[in-house]
Structure 1
Amino acid sequence: MPIYKINKTKAAQISLKEDGFGSEAELRDFFAENLDEILGVRFIEKEYPINYGGIDYRIDTLGIDENNTPVIIEYKWKENEEIFSQGKCYFNWLVKNKPHFELLVDKKLGAKTKVNWEQPRVILIAQGFSRYILGAVQQEKNIELKTYIYYEPDILQIENIYSPAEIKTSKKNGGKREAGEYNLEYHLSITSPKMQKIANSLRLKILELPNVKENFGKSGIFYRTTKSFARLEFRPTWIQLLIREPHYRSDVQQIVKDVTSNEWGYKGMIKFTPDSDVDYVFNLVKESYESTL
């Protein structure tokens, strides 16, 4: 999709910068330096050496996202068929070496950061993906595909090509729950009937925002664009609502609590109760959402 620069009433198409990143290493290092800003992922390691099945490999980037979920990122400078099999290989190593990864997190971020193993992520980034990869990834629950385009003079566009979160669920009920799966029904059953009603009211408002994906995990429901911006964790009589920042201009009632020191990834927390003003809370969630765009 072309990008245009606007000068008053005139539009000029921005040209592609063919040699944008001089090498795959330059691409990797740029993302490593800007991981939180671009993907909402905190950096752990790059070019990390592993041995899996008696063979030595190097993982481009290891990180952890706002939900404290492990993230593996693999880059290809152009288009490369190997990236998909590499991602699956590294994912298998990760899930078989959980204590090892947790030690890396402790060393980098501190012992307060508790790793969330509900749905580890593998993000594959390249200039494009073949039809075989696009077909094969459709059944993958942990792999995401993103492309990048480098424009003149220094503009980078990231496009989400595939994410497991794009598997559609009903806004009404989140789909039927199967054994071992977590959905809206599972989470609502934790809390009171009155809390269920206002929680679903907030959820429907969030889902009306453009390009929002909803994910269900054991510990809660979270919402993301390219980055996570809100998480609902259900209690018997209230909901813990986590958002990106500890302070918002519109929070004149000062209901957002600063939980930065908890190292949860999210820095703000709202105690969402049956007495909460849903519209007021939604406006705070919307500010958190807008900070990811």
Structure 2
Amino acid sequence: MKLFKLNKTNLNEVEQIPFKLEKDIQSLVEVNVESVFNLKFIQSELSVDKYRIDTLCFDEENNSFVIIEYKKGKSYSVIDQGYTYLQLLLNNKSDFLLVLSQYFNKVLRMEDVDWSQSRIIFVSPSFNSYQKDSVNFKGLPFELWEIKRYSNDTVVLNEHRSNSKESIETLNPTSNSTISQVSKEVKVVDEDFHLSKTNQPLVDKWNELKEEISNLDDVEITPKNDYISLMLNGKTLCYLIFRKNSISLEMNRGNVKPDGSRSKNYFDLDDPKKISKEGSWEWKSGTKGTIYKIPINKTTDLEYLMFLIKQKYKNLSN
């Protein structure tokens, strides 16, 4: 990818500045891991058994551990290292739980962590075709992110995504293999996982909605453990919760503090047909969270639904 700076009508190429050391990448990511990956940084250089983990993070949305590994060279196997580290995590849960308890300064139980959502993130200036092909399977708990730095103080991160429908377990049937052992406990949630909960007319309605959503710039569909998120540049546009006979679209309205002040981007939904319902809850701090809930069924008017979604889209874009 080439990057240019616009100078009136001229395009001046911005030079790439290579990272000299893996540590340079690690330091940059760890300081910004919340804004880049929406994760809590827990510890750097964690030693467990005979291995050393570059960065240990926690995904509060999924209540799961995330390990980040940094690479500059290309002479390593993503699959081998990824499954080895996941097995390390699953075989030493008490060690990881202790580190997490110390971070949050409270005693945590095994059930406070969703071990099935554990995953590995690899960050490197580049991955070769072999490494990319090795993770081209459905449901792998790995992410490959290429990071590049440029002379105008710009850093670009691109994720390599798999488009395969084949599971890696079909290539490794041995029941005592590392892959099989990890796969028994770690499950990657995808779109099909949520669609399997609902009926075919609603699946068809969701596919129609997806087509409409694809016309909105920079919106990504991100499956989570309990719902599917629509994300706009790292911000949550709305959630979709799939049930047997319904889909609930939930849209955060914003927070109201005890003094009555409202959070940034707090908004009122213009809903002349009144198909949305307001919901709220209160945290211990006294802050009140508010939400709009919109039911979706097989007769839902998608044009009107998109009219509502676009209001939140515009709100987050401002």
Give the TM-score of the pair, scaled to structure 2. Answer: 0.64
Shift of 1:270: 3.3
Q: What is the aligned partner in structure 2 of residue 174 from structure 1? A: none
RMSD across aligned C-alpha pairs, in angstroms? 4.2
* Residue among 241, 257, 273 paired with 1:233: 241
CA contact (8 A) 2:4 2:12 kept: yes
Is the aligned partner of 1:88 residue 2:97?
no
- Bigger mean CA deviation after superposition, 56-65 or 248-257: 248-257
Shift of 1:44: 2.0
Structure 1 residue identity aligned to 2:161: S
Aligned counterpart, 1:6: 6
Contact 1:256 1:269 in 2 (8 A): yes
Select the structure with the greater relative contact order (CA < 8 A; seq sep ≥ 6): 1
Equivalent pair of 1:41/1:65 in contact (CA under 8 Å): yes
Query: Structure 1 stretch 42-51 or stretch 60-69: which is displaced more?
Result: 60-69
TM-score, normalised on structure 1? 0.69
- Residue 133 (structure 1) aligns with: 131
Counterpart of 1:142, as a letter, is: P
Equivalent positions of 1:89-168 (< 5 A) are 89-98=84-93, 100-109=95-104, 114-139=112-137, 141-160=140-159, 162-164=160-162, 166-167=163-164
Q: Distance in 1 between matches of 2:214 and 2:64?
A: 22
Percent pairwise identity: 21
8 Å Cα contact 1:43/1:64 also seen in 2: no
Deviating above 6 A after TM superposition, structure 1's stretches of 4 or more consecutive aligned residues are 110-113, 195-198, 254-260
* Alignment partners' CA distance in 2, 1:226 and 1:205: 18
Aligned residues: 265
2:292 to 266, 270, 281: 270
| 2:136 alignment partner, SS class | helix
Structure 1 equivalent of residue 31 of structure 2: 33
Q: Measure how far apart 1:222 and its partner are.
A: 3.4
Q: Does 1:283 align with 2:310?
A: yes
* SS at structure 2 position matched to 1:146: strand
- Contact kept? 1:48, 1:62, Cα under 8 Å: no
Bigger radius of gyration, 1 or 2?
2
Cα distance, 1:211 vs. partner? 6.0
| Structure 1: gaps (5+ residues) | 169-179
For residues 260 and 17 of structure 1, the distance between their equivalents in structure 2, rounded to whole angstroms, comes to: 48
Q: Alignment partner for residue 73 of structure 2, among 79, 88, 109?
A: 79
Alpha carbons 1:125, 1:146 under 8 Å: kept: yes
Q: 2: distance between equivalents of 1:206 and 1:118? A: 29
Structure 2 CA distance for partners of 1:105 and 1:245, relative to 1, 3 Å? farther
Letter aligned with residue 86 of structure 2: F
Alignment equivalent of 1:251, drawn from 261, 265, 268: 268
Q: Where does structure 2 lack aligned partners over 5 or more consecutive residues? A: 166-186, 256-262, 272-276
